[in-house]
Amino acid sequence: MALSYGWRAARVTPLGELYTPPRITGVLLRLAVQVVLVASLWRGLYAQSGTTAGLDRGQAVTYAVMAVLASRLRELDQYAGRDTVMQHVHFGTIVYWYLRPMPPRRYHALRAIGEQLYGLSWALAGYAVCLAVGVVRPPGSAAVAGVFVLSLALGQLVLYYVMLLIDQLCFWTLRNTAAMLILVFAQNLLSGVYAPLWYFPHWFITLSSFLPFQATLSVPLSLYVGRIPLSDAPFQLGVQAAWVVALHLFTRFVWRRAARRVISQGG
């Protein structure tokens, strides 16, 4: 029963996408355009340059394109499905999360797993196409591929907990739109979505190292393209794992505090 209920929870947002063909078409077109534009941009930037910030043209293009593909892991439209924490808190339906046999934090996590698995199918399909046509380079070795997969998984866990904190903010503010906009910008900038962090000033790189954002994307992709050598992988993986543990403990504490703010009246 618990397994069946968990599976149903994981399908909530992906089913909303699959039952809306125009949305799928829009995602496909946007992803294709983004990949073409990003690849063209970085090839143009390296037209008169050999190596910059420790990256050659092939590495830079591979990094940029894979950053676009990785963004599909968490870009589903929960708002259209009326299943965001902000909507539930605003309309009072968040109380049902606390009346179900499944704890709210587990339901939220299962939904995130379903979203990421659906997004992963898009990312893998895009990666296969880009690899086949030579837009991205393959990993340098099997060891690099293995470390990259592990680092990417840890990065997605870090990203999940960061996004969860913004969702939990709704229990105190009712709406988190402004905070979400700020977080998305900070995440894209400090995780290396807009450009690899190696191109930024040293003080900026140092500042970002004290925040969890670069652990979500910059570290996995830097390992993949070889900007971070395999000899440094254990340290980077350890930092990512530390962020996962710290954020897990903190968000679990916030879930308990949030439960005190939910009141059920009537029967």
Compute the average pLDDT of residues 121-131.
92
Compute the average pLDDT of residues 107-132.
89
Per DSSP, the three-state class of 98 is helix
* Residue partners of 109: CB distance under 8 A and separation at least 6: 160
What does the pLDDT read at residue 138? 93
pLDDT band at 79 (very low <50, low <70, confident <90, very high): low
What span, in angstroms and rounded, lies between the C-alpha atoms of 6 and 115? Answer: 13
pTM: 0.88
Sequence-separated contacts (24+) of 200-207 with Cβ below 8 Å: none
What does the pLDDT read at residue 267? 42
What span, in angstroms and rounded, lies between the C-alpha atoms of 193 and 217? Answer: 8
What does the pLDDT read at residue 3? 53
Q: What are phi and psi of 46, to 5 degrees?
A: -95, 10
What span, in angstroms and rounded, lies between the C-alpha atoms of 140 and 58? Answer: 12
Helix (H) or strand (E) holding 174: none
Average pLDDT of every residue of the chain: 85
More confident residue, 105 or 224: 224
pLDDT band at 117 (very low <50, low <70, confident <90, very high): confident
Specify which residues 51 forms β-bridges with.
56
Among 145, 155, 224, smallest CA distance to 190 is for 155
pLDDT band at 78 (very low <50, low <70, confident <90, very high): low
More confident residue, 165 or 93: 165
Compute the average pLDDT of residues 70-80.
68
What span, in angstroms and rounded, lies between the C-alpha atoms of 244 and 232? Answer: 19
pLDDT band at 167 (very low <50, low <70, confident <90, very high): confident
Per DSSP, the three-state class of 135 is coil
